[in-house]
Amino acid sequence: MGNTSSMLTQYDIEEVQEHCKHAFTQQEIVSLYQRFCQLDRNKCGFISSDEFMSIPEFAVNPLSNSLLRMLEGFNFKEFVAFLSAFSPRASLQNKIEFIFKVYDTDCNGKVTFDDLLRTLQDLTGQFMSHQQREEVLTQVLEEAGYNKDSFLVLSDFMKILGNSGLKMEVEVPVD
């Protein structure tokens, strides 16, 4: 599986299915493998940030820099696990864990006000001033029972988003 020129065996497919908690069918994994091979232009078994940025939908995503931090040097199994958060079969917990990783910009297991502010800045760009972003975040945190000095851990995200009816599904083009 490390060498992208080889084909997936049934064992590889089942291993990847297990790794992504059955978010994809076997046929979807085969299709994702074909897409992975297309993206892996160097044929080294890993996808670089430049290769990810060659996906137009990814390149225009305002969170692409945060996502790239999570992606650099992914092998096929990690690639599928990353995409599994967007599968309709992924559990709510998996989706929330993914969102937490996006917001945890320094990868310390805590989401601070500054982490939230950076992500909101990525999402809003020049459409909101820094002061507007701070005001919105302060209000949202207060409504959730937190303040500007609080930090959120994964269990906080679970509590806040757990009953939100969160939908996080995208179509991943594999052809």
- Is the pLDDT reported for residue 147 higher than 50? yes
CA 55, 40, 9 angle in degrees (round to 5)? Answer: 120
> Using CA atoms, how far apart are residues 69 and 148, in angstroms rounded to an integer?
25
Give the least confident one: 108-112, 143-147, 152-156: 143-147
Give the least confident one: 17-26, 73-82, 115-124, 156-165: 156-165
- CA distances for 21 relative to 64, 80, 83, 103, angstroms: 24, 10, 12, 23
Q: Render pLDDT for 70-88 as a digit per residue (tens, 0 to 9).
A: 776 789 998 898 889 888 8
Average pLDDT of the residues of the chain: 85
> Using CA atoms, how far apart are residues 98 and 53, in angstroms rounded to an integer?
20
> Using CA atoms, how far apart are residues 1 and 7, in angstroms rounded to an integer?
8
**pLDDT for the residue numbered 167:** 64
- Is the pLDDT reported for residue 142 higher than 50? yes
Q: What is the mean pLDDT of residues 56-75?
A: 81
Q: pLDDT-based confidence at 1, cuts 50/70/90?
A: low
Specify burial of residue 36 (Cβ count, 10 A radius: 0-12, 13-18, 19+).
buried
Q: What is the mean pLDDT of residues 13-42?
A: 93
- Is the pLDDT reported for residue 20 higher than 80? yes
Give the least confident one: 29-43, 46-60, 84-98, 139-153: 46-60
- Percent pLDDT > 90 in the chain is 39
Which one is predicted more confidently, 30 or 144? Answer: 30
Q: What is the CA radius of gyration of the chain?
A: 18
- Is the pLDDT reported for residue 47 higher than 60? yes
